[in-house]
Amino acid sequence: SGCFIDFVDPAIGRSLIRVLGRHGVEVVFPKKQTCCGIPVFMSGDLQNGLDLLKMNIEAFAPYKLDAIIVACATCGSALKESYKTLVEGESQEWKDRVGAFSGKVLDIAEFLTQKIKLSPLTLPLSPANGGEGGVRGAGCRYFLCNVKVYLKRAGRLSQTPASFRYLIAPGWNGMPIPS
């Protein structure tokens, strides 16, 4: 999920668990999972970053997982890309373990669109608005996001699913930030 979600806004994590549960996805939280280590790694403390990496790889090892889903682009980038850099000087066993682990990491948007095969057409959006941004009217909420930039900067997606905002928050009107 990510430290921001865990410690600042856990409602995001609870919402994601509900969305995944509605689509029959079993959610597992390894008790020994810890910080991805990117703050430590980026501050130059490679040894402690490597220690956190190994703790996470060990935490997930007992589970037969199809995917490791992240909702934080920073954590996702660490798990998918930075971990490969951290183990460059380690044994081939660790490189292989990190490669297998990192290959399962998917951003929530990737998972919902690629694995669950959700699209805006699968959501209960009002035909009055052509499926653009949810149901209009009383109580409609808005949010601003530039999902493509957010995920591309973190090296997570080359193309962001246009349906991302609808998949996570049906009933909300997305207002992309102008470039």
Identify the DSSP state of 178: P
pLDDT above 60 for 162: no
User: For 59-76, what is the mean pLDDT?
Assistant: 92
Contact 67, 111 (CB under 8 A): yes
Does residue 59 carry a pLDDT above 90? Answer: yes
* Residue 2 reports pLDDT greater than 70: yes
In one letter, which amino acid is 64? K
pLDDT-based confidence at residue 110 (cuts at 50, 70, 90): confident
- Picking from 74, 69, 72, 5, the residue whose alpha carbon sits closest to that of residue 39 is 74
pLDDT for the residue 1: 63
DSSP, collapsed to helix, strand or coil, labels residue 158 as coil
Judge whether residue 69 has pLDDT over 80: yes
Give residue-wise pLDDT tens across range 19-52. 899 889 999 999 999 999 989 988 999 899 999 9
Question: How many Å apart are CA 144 and CA 171, to the nearest integer?
Answer: 14
- From residue 148, alpha-carbon distances to 13, 37, 121 in Å are 21, 24, 20
Over the chain, what is the mean pLDDT? 75
Give buried/exposed letters for 68-83 (b at 16+ CB in 10 A, else e): bbbbbbbbbbbbbebb
- Cβ-based neighbour number of residue 53 at 10 Å: 27
* pLDDT of amino acid 167: 44
69: DSSP letter: E
What pLDDT sits at residue 119? 63
Task: State the average pLDDT over residues 64-68.
Answer: 94
pLDDT at 152: 52
